[in-house]
């Protein structure tokens, strides 16, 4: 009878661990699947990284709003956390999507931000002749923010 209980316990353990093992295998195989089906729109077209003093955040946001207005972008600004520095911009127009997000470390004195130009999904890819003047205009408007420095541009 002691052997019977032992087999029952083993069976119960197998039944309890089997779903966890199956889930782990499914997650592992999902992560290893080929990513060849990625859409072309997921690749950045242009990147702009800037840095400024945190005290200039509001002026920075005003300049992004001006850029959106001047170039007829639909603008969506989100505060991601209660921290007012954790903001996210989504600007969209025709076939262009421009995303902006905070890249700063918490409590760092400088405010770092990244802007990335993408192709709108289901739309034709914008040419560099369309993107480059927008990049120039964005940099020109952001240059009005005191102490703002472009740290990287691709």
User: Which phi-psi region, left, alpha or beta, contains residue 97 (left: φ > 0; alpha: ψ -120 to 50)?
Assistant: beta
Which pLDDT score, from 0 to 100, does residue 35 have?
41
Do the beta carbons of residue 137 and residue 68 sit within 8 Å?
no
Which pLDDT score, from 0 to 100, does residue 79 have?
84
Separation of alpha carbons 77 and 71, rounded Å: 16
Which pLDDT score, from 0 to 100, does residue 38 have?
39
Separation of alpha carbons 78 and 87, rounded Å: 6
Q: What is the pLDDT along the chain (154 residues), one digit of tens a residue?
A: 555 556 677 776 666 666 666 666 666 665 554 443 333 446 889 999 999 998 898 999 999 999 999 999 999 999 888 888 888 999 999 899 999 998 877 777 788 899 999 988 878 888 899 999 999 999 999 999 999 999 999 8
In the Cβ-directed half-sphere of 45, how many Cα atoms lie within 13 Å? 22
| Nearest-5° Cα angle at 140, 154 to 74 | 80
Separation of alpha carbons 63 and 124, rounded Å: 28
Which pLDDT score, from 0 to 100, does residue 61 have?
93
> Which phi and psi (to 5°) does residue 47 adopt?
-130, 145
């Amino acid at each position: 009878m002691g052997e019977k209980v032992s087999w029952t316990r083993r069976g119960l353990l197998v039944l309890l661990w089997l779903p966890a093992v199956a889930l782990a295998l499914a997650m592992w195989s999902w992560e290893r699947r080929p990513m060849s089906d990625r859409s072309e729109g997921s690749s950045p077209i242009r990147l702009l990284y800037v840095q400024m003093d945190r005290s200039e955040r509001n002026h920075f946001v005003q300049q992004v709003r001006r850029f959106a207005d001047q170039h007829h972008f639909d603008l969506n600004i989100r505060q991601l956390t209660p921290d007012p520095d954790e903001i996210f911009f989504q600007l969209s127009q025709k076939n262009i999507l421009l995303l902006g997000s905070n890249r700063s470390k918490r409590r760092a004195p400088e405010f770092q931000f990244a802007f990335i130009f993408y192709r709108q999904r289901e739309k034709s890819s914008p040419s560099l002749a369309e993107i480059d003047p927008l990049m120039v205009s964005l940099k020109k408007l952001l240059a009005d923010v005191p102490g703002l420095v472009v740290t990287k541009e691709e």
